[in-house]
A and B are shown apart, each in its own frame.
Chain A
Amino acid sequence: MTIEAPIISARGLRKRFGKSEVLHGLDFDIPAGRIYGLVGHNGAGKTTTLNALLGLTQCEGRIEVLGLDPFAHRAELMNNVAFISDVASLPRFLRVRELFALLTNIHPNFSQEKARDFLAGTDIRPEARIKNLSKGMIAQLHLAVVMAIDAKLLVLDEPTLGLDITYRKRFYRRLLEDYMTEERTLLITTHQVDEIEFMLSDIMFIRDGELIVHMQMETVNEKYVQLVVSDPGNIEKARALGPVFGETRFGQTVMIFDGVPRASLAPLGQLSTPTLSDLFVALMQRETVNAGAA
């Protein structure tokens, strides 16, 4: 049996901006063929982590993407990595056909035919100037561009920011249906975690520059349990089992447990698997600089 090398490997990943350290020694491996969600609050270090993986910023520690040091070999790495970091980042002075022609010569793994196919069914015309496209159309175009790149790793940093729900749903559906294969790895960050939950194979929660959760979604479903307690008499019994989070919603007490057997919780109320957003809220409780929990 051979163990396949991870597509991304980070050890002791640290990043400082001036005196402030924003990544505190992250260690993680990402194997090939997975769909990873990197989730965290604003300023948690998600984009900095992605920038480190993409060779856009220099960090302390050891980091390898597809066997390369990304900061030293960014251009070489980009032959096999595609990323969308901002939906508005396409060069606005170009027409769509000019963009495709340019990419055909600049990117050895870009297929103009595929890009045109991906645009079928959209309102984007080849003659259209990018600066005249709507935000949603630019997102569709950018997605068509990255999907037309035969890359091993696709990194999406808030790719649907500012788009309406229709575009967001279409964006992820096309990504999943038309792009993902077993050979490709997808790493995505977004605040709209509920919208990507269905497609994720693994999740990483980052809080204040530290990874606090890194596991497969199946493990999340086994490990975390949400309990809704309707009977006030069971609340104290449930609290005694050590929930990682609790709150009151519409007169019911909702608690999330980590690693507590379902059999122990079942008599106390209704059990379910917490959604990623519930889990996010539960695990991301933190003290803010100004007094109070965020």
Chain B
Amino acid sequence: MQAMIALVKREYLEHRGAFVFGPAILLGLMLLASLYMTWSVSFDARLHEEMSSALRFYEAAFAFLAAGWWIYLLVMLFFYFADAFSSDSRNNSMLFWKSMPQTDFKIFGAKMTAAFTVFPTAILLAVAISGVIAYLPAFSAGNVLAGFSPPGPFETIGAYFNILAVAIVFYALGLLWYAPFFAWVGLLSVLFRRWAIPLAFLIPVTAGLFENLLTRRWERDGGLILNFLKERMNFRFQGLDFETVWVLGEPWNAPGLIVRMFAGVNWTSLAGGLAVAVILVFLASEYRRRYVLT
């Protein structure tokens, strides 16, 4: 366990640029932009028609930022897996790590663990800070717009923790859902190093096209492979659409939403995906153990 924690820490030290320094810079810019908006920007009067209150504006801003950080996390993790699984080759330290009494599977396990714990936590921290920053324009909108008043502290804190709780569960389930895709990129990274990035898309798309060419299913349904991937790439909860919730003006009720999220997940598919992820990481570690020396 001690070694695993150390290996995860190694991942943090090696890749903190993308998950700590990068978000810190973005948060700084976000804070500057919010301060600028607070003092210098007049809000469009139409906002009054779209938002029922400044609290609503705050919730929208915070939720929008949480969604933005989610996309940031997915993109960064994609590049992380494309890089981290072959970084020991790239920076010529492969034989140093192989001189350590740790298996290749454990080393890759540490990379997976870092990707699903430390890095999302760092981004969720950024989400939490974003929620604080988002109060500035909401406060400003409440002061400037006629009929609005700044959101009260208790209702803002309530909204803050509700959205944050939903974001935490969403991130956790979403990452588990996308685990096999990340593991796929990691495997390709071990095999093809930097070419993993284009190949991660090229291989499944080519396989799908070949399937269509061979089976002539294109005109009917687009083929099994592409349809499966399209379905599996779409992370959603059965019976819960956040956009609809927003349009209907439902309040952010975290316990209720979280229950609906858990109920709406396709657990069979998620568990199957996790099993595939473990198999892919094992294959990657075996390839590294047997064939990768530099």
Contact = CB atoms under 8 A, between A and B. Distances in A.
Given A98-B13, A105-B3, A106-B6, A75 B93 contact: no
Contacts of B14: 91, 93
A88 interface: yes
A91 B289 contact: no
Given A79-B101, A107-B100, A89 B13 contact: no
Contacts of A106: 3, 6-7, 100-102
Contact of A74 (B91, B93, B98): B98
Interface string B11-55: 001100000000000000000000000000000000000000000
Given A57-B293, A98-B13, A91 B102 contact: no
B172 interface: no
Interface string B88-129: 000111111111111100100000000000000000000000
A85 interface: yes
Interface in A70-126: 74-79, 81-86, 88-94, 98, 101-108
B279 interface: no
Nearest to A109: B101
A76 B293 CA distance: 18
Given A74-B98, A75-B102, A106-B100, A90 B3 contact: no
B3 to A, nearest CB: 5
B98 A56 contact: yes
B215 interface: no
Contacts, number: 75
B99 A90 contact: no
Given A57-B293, A74-B289, A102-B6, A107 B101 contact: yes
B290 interface: yes
Contacts of A77: 101
Contacts of A275: none
B2 interface: yes
Nearest to A78: B101
A89 B293 contact: no
Contacts of B95: 56, 83, 85-86, 89
Contacts of A92: 91-93
Contact of B103 (A75, A82, A86): A75
A51 interface: yes
Contacts of A74: 98, 103, 289
Contacts of A273: none
Contacts of A86: 92, 95
B28 to A, nearest CB: 24
Contacts of A98: 13
Interface in A6-61: 51, 54, 56-58
A195 to B, nearest CB: 22
B10 A102 contact: yes
Nearest to A47: B293
B118 to A, nearest CB: 15
Given A93-B13, A102-B6, A105-B3, A51 B293 contact: yes
B9 interface: yes
A56 B293 contact: yes
B240 interface: no
A151 to B, nearest CB: 10
Contacts of B13: 93-94, 98
A54 B96 CA distance: 12
A129 to B, nearest CB: 11
Interface of A: 51, 54, 56-58, 74-79, 81-86, 88-94, 98, 101-108
Given A75-B100, A83-B95, A104-B6, 4 more contacts: A74-B289, A89-B92, A91-B96, A106-B102
- Give 4 closest A-B pairs by Cβ, nearest first: A105-B6, A78-B101, A89-B96, A85-B95
16 contacts: A51-B293, A56-B95, A75-B103, A76-B101, A79-B101, A83-B95, A83-B99, A84-B99, A86-B95, A91-B91, A91-B93, A92-B93, A94-B13, A98-B13, A105-B5, A107-B100
